[in-house]
Structure 1
Amino acid sequence: MSTTIDITEETSAVAKGKAPLIATTTYSDGSKGNIKTKGAAAATAATGYKKGIAIFDFLLRLGAIVAALAAAGTMGSSEQTLPFFTQFFQFRASYDDLPTFQFFVIAMSIVGGYLVLSLPFSIVLIIRPSAVAPKMLLVALDIVALTLNTAAGGAAAAVVYLAHNGNSSANWLAICQQFGDFCQKVSGAVVASFISAVALVFLVVLSGFALRRH
């Protein structure tokens, strides 16, 4: 007596072995791809985005340094003596005659010095775009520098306006008709301070965008 056992023939895929599963996903744009590959590509794109912001941050700091130091230097060298004077009277205008202009020179020098010292931190962010601590430090100090810059520029702008136009109610005469070179220098210093302030505003905004990406 013999016994016959029927063995069902396996499919070629089972006989040869199944291929390993690869996880795929479908994205909102209809494309399909490996999750690991897509994640690596997204991380690379985010790193490139942060590095681009860091490079732009560095360039803005260079521009702000030039503007801030130019403002301080121009105001600090603003002086004019009129050609007509006597033995007892000499008509002279200088920045140190006004406390507002003295504060302007000191404040813009501080802002320029801070921006110079911030360059190494900006370089660190170019090398390590994902670092959070330097970004937090820079955005806090940038806001302080922006406040100081704006205060100095606004106060000096008010005095420059009076120098150009005077104030008839307070019997303050416009001196720019006589001290033209002096007024031209202090006006240029105020404009440079506002350029520095605009650069600092962009620096704060860029830091906010960079922190939001984390």
Structure 2
Amino acid sequence: MDSGRRDDSTVITMPESKSNGKGKAPAVAMATTKAAPGGWKKGVSIFDFILRLSAIGAALGATATMGTTDETLPFFTQFFQFQAEYDDFEVFLFFVVANGITSAYLVLSLPFAIVCIVRPHAVGPRLLLLIFDTVIMALTIGAAAAAASIVYLAHNGNPNANWLPICQQFGDFCQSTSAAVVSSFIAAFLLMFLVVLSGFALRRN
């Protein structure tokens, strides 16, 4: 009876030592699986930072191009001078202000983007960027769309309203305004991509 009990105890202790050895392997596997999402989110945050720098360039380019647009025709008299400036159109003035706000916001958002790089799992900064990116994206798209309608009228006019196209006379003015609108749409597209990227990163949390 005693020898049988000793044999049973020996049989019981051996599986315990094996189970303890096997119990360490899942812990290592869990550690590696937890480390993987952090690296992925850090890569997303770095890409987000690069996109913000690109959007700053596009928004600043749109603001500067439209804000410096003016053209004076070479033929004028003592009393009449044919000149076109961006602030002659309220829509273009709104365009400059809106893209200026977009540029300032994108510059101010860079520290939050850096925080997301340092702390990829942080939800607060990412959620804050998502909300403000959406608002600024709507502002930029609205300004670009409104300016695009005026640029279209400048190129093609409106025969029903007897509005003649002016781009045949003010060619440089129309080229500058068109370039500014295209640059603003690029900034809006980058902001849209930033919103999608932030939403996807938050969903993965």
1:21 is matched with 19
Pick one of 175, 180, 183 that aligns with 1:184: 175
1:69 is matched with 60
Shift of residue 40, structure 1, vs aligned partner? 1.1
Trace 1:165-184 onto structure 2 (pairs within 5 A).
165-184=156-175
Shift of residue 190, structure 1, vs aligned partner? 0.2
Pick one of 166, 178, 186 that aligns with 1:195: 186
1:97 is matched with 88
State how far apart, in whole Å, the 2-side matches of 1:86 and 1:179 are.
Answer: 17
| 1:209 aligned onto 2:200 | yes
Task: Give the conservation status (yes or no) of the 8 Å contact 1:65–1:112.
Answer: yes
Share of identical aligned residues, percent? 56
1:145-170 Cα deviation digits (max 9, x unpaired): 00000000000000000000000001
SS at match of 2:45: helix
1:82 is matched with 73
Structure with a larger share of its residues in helix: 2
State how far apart, in whole Å, the 2-side matches of 1:110 and 1:37 are.
Answer: 49
State how far apart, in whole Å, the 1-side matches of 2:52 and 2:20 are.
Answer: 47
> 1:193 corresponds to which letter in structure 2?
S
Task: Give the conservation status (yes or no) of the 8 Å contact 1:143–1:204.
Answer: yes
Shift of residue 35, structure 1, vs aligned partner? 2.4
State how far apart, in whole Å, the 2-side matches of 1:21 and 1:133 are.
Answer: 42
State how far apart, in whole Å, the 1-side matches of 2:65 and 2:37 are.
Answer: 42
| 1:151 aligned onto 2:151 | no
Runs of 4+ in 1 over 3 A off after TM superposition: 8-11, 22-25
The Cα RMSD (Å) is 2.2
Structure 1 residues not aligned, in runs of 5+? 26-32
2:33 is matched with 42
Q: Which has the larger radius of gyration?
A: 1
Pick one of 97, 104, 111 that aligns with 1:106: 97
State how far apart, in whole Å, the 1-side matches of 2:40 and 2:128 are.
Answer: 20
